[in-house]
Amino acid sequence: METSQEQTEARPSPEPASELLDIVRTLFAELHRHTGPDRPITLDNSLDRDLGFDSLARVELMVRIQRAFGVDLPEDTLVRATTPRDLLEALQKGARGSARRAPIQPGPTLESAQGEAVDATTLLEVIDWHVRRQPDRIQVIYTGESGEQPITCRDLAEASERVAAGLQHRGLEAGQSVAIMLPTGPEYFPVYAGILLAGGIPVPIYPPAHLAQVEEHVRRHVGILCNAQAVLLVTIPEARAVAWLLRVHVPSLGTVVSAQELLRSRESLTRVPVAAQDVAFIQYTSGSTGDPKGVVLTHANLLANIRAMGQAIGLRPDDVFVSWLPLYHDMGLIGAWLGTLYFGIPLVVMSPLAFLARPVRWLQAVHAYRGTLSAAPNFAYELCVKKIGDEELAGLDLSSWRLAFNGAETVLPETLTRFGRRFAQYGFHSEALTPVYGLAECSVGLAFPPSGRGPLIDRVQRESFTRTGSAVPAAPDNASPLCFVSCGRPLPGHELRIVDASGNELGERQEGRLEFRGASATRGYFNNPQATSQLFRDGWLDSGDRGYIAGGEVFLTGRVKDIIIRGGRNIYPHEVEEVVGEIPGVRKGCVVVFGSPDPASGTERLVVLAETRESGQRERHQLCEAINAAIVEVLGEPADQIALAPPRTVLKTSSGKLRRAATRALFEAGLAGEHRRVGWWQVVSLAAGAFIPQVQRWAARAADVCFAAWAWLVFWLVAPIVWLVTIFTPRPSWAWAVGRVGARLLIRLTGTPFTVTGMEYLPRGTPCVLVVNHASYLDGFVLVAALPEQFGFVAKRELLEHFIPRVYLQRLGAEFVERFAAHESVQDARRLEVALRAGRALVFFPEGTFTRLPGLKSFRMGAFVVAANTGIPVVPVAICGTRSILRDGQWWPRRGAITITFGAPLLPVTDAHEAFAAAVVLRDAVRAHILRHCGEPDTQGEV
């Protein structure tokens, strides 16, 4: 009767649609205070396109819905729901599926390990060893919405044999690659092991987030699959029919099959000899465009890493590992599953979406199964601190958790402190917090601290470190030291060293590039000899990270360059071109999609240029809306600019192939765009009726042309020199100074009136967040000209794939972020918080983009959430006049005056539990200042 009563309490009210819409309206009103109360919102509004809910806002919306209705939404709601109606359906499933306020139930008693396969040379020998000794011991417990599903050693072995037989029956030969595109689930384990058993090479890739868009998602992996020469693709049943189309783009890919089909195989298995030096895993460390890097790891590499990690942490037979880490990445696959498989300890695993939707599930699993080991990136610990209510923690006991690994991204000292303090009352010991370091090129783990010691924080003098790279310990009374977290010592059998730019090893407490070597190290990148040659130097491997060594322990200070590990979205032109080409009114085969770098603002615009014969203003407007809707459907985000061009604008080769680079150059020169019915015959006609006005217009036009020509001449004289000097400057502050001189010279030589007011409000020597309106390509230039010292622009991550802006922005010390994917956005927000706490000052353009039409648009929440979480002041900055000088889509600059107005710094409320509400208040105050001084109307309601 208790269970029935709890389920009754968890069920939504008789009018869940109305109550849900009230929650949506409330959040919309908070985000859009001037339009929220009067804006009609229906169940079929797009959360992104119509309501303007970005990734952070959607996470907040899910939290509010779950708290209001007292139920758990299905795990995939965060990525699947695109409208309130989708949320309603998810809510109804959650109401039927769980009572979230039920007491935490204990899990089954798990059997202790009976030893490790010390003589095994391959992962397959590890499985055989355990099957012979303890076939019925539970190795994996998958916890999902339908309950828990235990997998014994015998279950794994038998299912793996069926998968292997099914693969061989479909033509897999030894040494061939098989791509695994599966979400975390019970099928993943036998599929991976079955590929090895059949003699194949597993290649995990990111699974589709939206089944309705699975084809587009799969197409983003063409570069990886071609590089891996994959012959089979294992995916979910819903994706099989669409994924079959990949064979057209990947010559080697012959078969697409679901995991369920393989598990139902009844064919006989032919055993294939597998040796220690055979490839057991290819982990792709970057996106699928350009130059894919697949880290080759052998059975010997993986076993060496697993054994070294087990020795470093003092693994015990009664340990239980709890994980939500995705199995398609090395930290979840090797660190969580293969490690527990080798040592014979149980693994309790859940979907990453389950954790993101409700972080308390992770902690409840540790409680229920008496977990002793678990790992996660830093942002996960932060989410637990800020997104778990006290009412959800009733009865929680974390006393069994002896090692809480923190890795895969920058470890924030404040996060460690907050997590330890928050959960101490629930039995968690702060000594369990264990920052670690690893990378795919070293299997997964490279450095671990002593078990049970707790975090070691190094406080160093800021001035000495930033100027000379010397990590001099700071005095106890130092008010603003730099703090770095120790990741411990190299694993047994591995070595680390710190070198300078010439490869010379540096001494104690000297920062440099981190290199490593050891039994876990990869032999190179798959089918990529050029990248492999750049990885090795005199027997050492380049980690791509910077750090220093103190007391034998390594302290990481940052990355040599931003590397997209899991989630950087790569947009392929052909997928958008194909979709847009099917729209009525667009000339099929005459669509070009490209990125147009914008060095002025530090952003990369996604431009769609489509040929059309439509000439009416209304028809062209409707066509643009249809194109934008199609792009949002494919990519989940709109294009930055849609240009409609007359026939024969798109350039092609003699064989009919699109010339994207040449068409982009045409666009950037201002010679392609909207069709304008202006010609010599119209000029003659007008001149015949009004000769004098026409002459006046010609004179004005000539003056405009002369000014534009002069402005561009000055730009091309100044900009290349500034860029070249910048890339050879050793420090970001010097690069900023060079850019400042160039920007001021450009303003002065073009005779542009330039006024800056309110500079006294700008904090000096302390971190702050600058929030600026975005009206033109010129905004970045004028900010560099106005600011007296270095600031870091926050730029979208896609910009890293373009050489000129990437190099320039990296020299300026820019921070690159993912804008739309929820998982990656949360991690990037944590990274920006680290930068602010380290003393960086950052510049945000919260509108995200700009158009030719004037108006201050809605602000995204990222800058304000980061400021609220760190307590860093926000300085509002209003730019006036740049849009009229150089509008979006135009290349003729016009005369005009520019004014920049700085406002007084605004401090956020620092209560962590009210961070989102504080961020909304902060955003509204900043936006009000900018609206008063930017000289443009309020277009916030035009989402």
pLDDT category, 83, cuts 50, 70, 90?
confident
Residue 602, pLDDT > 60, answer no
Tell me the CA distances in angstroms from 72 to 202, 392, 522, 845, 934, one per residue in order: 34, 12, 42, 35, 44
CB environment 728-760: b (16+ within 10 A), e (fewer): ebeebeebbbbbbebbbbbbeebebebebebee
**363: its two tokens:** 């902690």
Q: Name the residue with higher pLDDT: 587 or 141.
A: 141
Residue 204 DSSP SS3: strand
Residues 252 and 190 in one domain: yes
Residue 177 DSSP SS3: strand
pLDDT at 107: 58
**868: its two tokens:** 């609220």
CATH number at residue 449: 2.30.38.10
**Which residues lie closer than 8 Å to 429 by C-beta, 6 or more apart?**
399, 401, 402
Return the top range by mean pLDDT from 108-117, 261-270, 804-813: 261-270
Residues 383 and 370 in one domain: no
pLDDT category, 73, cuts 50, 70, 90?
confident
Measured CA angle at 30 (ends 24, 32), to 5 deg? 95
DSSP 505-562: BP-TTB-EEEEEEETT----BTT-HHHHHHHEETTEEEEEEEEEEETTEEEEEEESS-
Q: Which whole number is the average pLDDT over 548-559?
A: 88
Looking at residue 331, what DSSP letter applies?
Answer: I
Amino acid (one-letter) located at 73: L
How many Å apart are CA 834 and CA 132, to the nearest integer?
49
**782: its two tokens:** 């004028």
Return the top range by mean pLDDT from 64-68, 284-288, 751-755, 847-851: 751-755
**Helix residue ranges, H only, 284-359:** 299-313, 330, 339-343, 352-357
For the stretch 323-372, pLDDT in tens is: 999 998 888 999 999 999 999 999 999 998 888 888 999 999 999 999 99
Decide which of 677, 710, 744 is a domain's last residue: 677
Q: What is the mean pLDDT of the chain?
A: 82
Q: Which whole number is the average pLDDT over 639-663?
A: 67
**60: its two tokens:** 């907040």
**Which residues lie closer than 8 Å to 492 by C-beta, 6 or more apart?**
308, 311, 312
How many Å apart are CA 698 and CA 105, to the nearest integer?
82
Q: Name the residue with higher pLDDT: 497 or 46.
A: 497
Residues 54 and 199 in one domain: no
Nearest to 26 by CA among 86, 91, 84, 88: 84
The phi-psi region of residue 246 (left if phi > 0; otherwise alpha if psi is between -120 and 50; otherwise beta) is alpha
Q: What is the separation, in whole angstroms, between the first and last Cα of the chain? A: 48
Neighbours of 507 (CB within 10 A): 10
Q: Per the domain annotation, does 544 fall within a domain?
A: yes
Residue 729, pLDDT > 90, answer no
Q: Per the domain annotation, does 386 fall within a domain?
A: yes
pLDDT at 509: 93
pLDDT at 220: 63
pLDDT category, 319, cuts 50, 70, 90?
very high
Nearest to 830 by CA among 378, 436, 349: 378
For the stretch 883-903, pLDDT in tens is: 889 888 777 888 899 999 999
CATH number at residue 142: 3.40.50.12780
pLDDT at 848: 80
Residue 168, pLDDT > 90, answer yes
pLDDT category, 95, cuts 50, 70, 90?
low
pLDDT at 464: 81
Residues 585 and 645 in one domain: yes
**707: its two tokens:** 């000014």
Return the top range by mean pLDDT from 74-83, 531-540, 568-577: 531-540
Residue 299, pLDDT > 70, answer yes
How many Å apart are CA 96 and CA 416, to the nearest integer?
37
How many Å apart are CA 407 and CA 416, to the nearest integer?
12
Q: Which whole number is the average pLDDT over 87-94?
A: 80
Residues 305 and 447 in one domain: no
Q: Per the domain annotation, does 279 fall within a domain?
A: yes
Q: Name the residue with higher pLDDT: 315 or 209.
A: 315
pLDDT category, 425, cuts 50, 70, 90?
very high
Residue where the block lists tokens 């201050």: 856
pLDDT at 678: 32
pLDDT at 113: 64
- Using a pLDDT cut of 90, give the percent of the chain over it: 38
pLDDT at 59: 74
Residues 212 and 261 in one domain: yes
Return the top range by mean pLDDT from 219-233, 235-249, 555-569, 592-606: 219-233
pLDDT at 109: 60
pTM for the full predicted model: 0.66
Decide which of 504, 526, 559 is a domain's last residue: 559
Kindly report the three-state secondary structure assignment for every residue of 806-859. Answer: HHHHHHHCCEEECCCCHHHHHHHHHHHHHHHHCCCCEEECCCCCCCCCCCECCC
Q: Per the domain annotation, does 757 fall within a domain?
A: yes
- Using a pLDDT cut of 70, give the percent of the chain over it: 81
Q: Picking from 150-164, 221-235, 911-925, which range would have the lowest pLDDT averaged per residue?
A: 911-925
Q: Which whole number is the average pLDDT over 528-533?
A: 91
For the stretch 33-49, pLDDT in tens is: 544 456 688 888 888 76
Residues 555 and 578 in one domain: no
Q: Name the residue with higher pLDDT: 296 or 669.
A: 296
Nearest to 262 by CA among 283, 234, 300, 290: 234
Q: Per the domain annotation, does 690 fall within a domain?
A: no
Neighbours of 676 (CB within 10 A): 7
Contact between 439 and 543 under an 8 Å Cβ cutoff? The reply is yes
pLDDT at 605: 65
pLDDT at 55: 62
Q: Which whole number is the average pLDDT over 500-511?
A: 89
CATH number at residue 67: 1.10.1200.10
pLDDT category, 63, cuts 50, 70, 90?
confident
Residues 602 and 549 in one domain: no
pLDDT category, 101, cuts 50, 70, 90?
very low
Q: Per the domain annotation, does 738 fall within a domain?
A: no
pLDDT at 812: 83
Q: Which whole number is the average pLDDT over 431-438?
A: 95
Residues 157 and 134 in one domain: yes
Query: How many domains in the chain?
Result: 6
pLDDT category, 753, cuts 50, 70, 90?
very high
Residue 853, pLDDT > 60, answer yes
Decide which of 643, 677, 711 is a domain's last residue: 677
Q: Per the domain annotation, does 740 fall within a domain?
A: no
**Which residues lie closer than 8 Å to 37 by C-beta, 6 or more apart?**
29
Residues 351 and 415 in one domain: no
CATH number at residue 665: 3.30.300.30
For the stretch 657-707, pLDDT in tens is: 456 666 776 777 676 544 333 323 333 333 444 345 445 556 767 877 888
pLDDT at 855: 84
User: What is the maximum alpha-carbon separation in the chain?
Assistant: 100
Residues 547 and 636 in one domain: no
Tell me the CA distances in angstroms from 874 to 350, 496, 868, 925, one per residue in order: 39, 40, 9, 10
How many Å apart are CA 323 and CA 375, to the nearest integer?
7
pLDDT category, 251, cuts 50, 70, 90?
confident
Q: Per the domain annotation, does 699 fall within a domain?
A: no
pLDDT at 6: 39
pLDDT at 5: 39
How many Å apart are CA 727 and CA 807, to the nearest integer?
7
Which residues constitute the domain of residue 765? Answer: 752-933
Nearest to 844 by CA among 812, 867, 825: 867
Residue 368 DSSP SS3: helix
Q: Name the residue with higher pLDDT: 689 or 763.
A: 763
Q: Name the residue with higher pLDDT: 129 or 383.
A: 129
Residues 547 and 616 in one domain: no
CATH number at residue 917: 3.40.1130.10
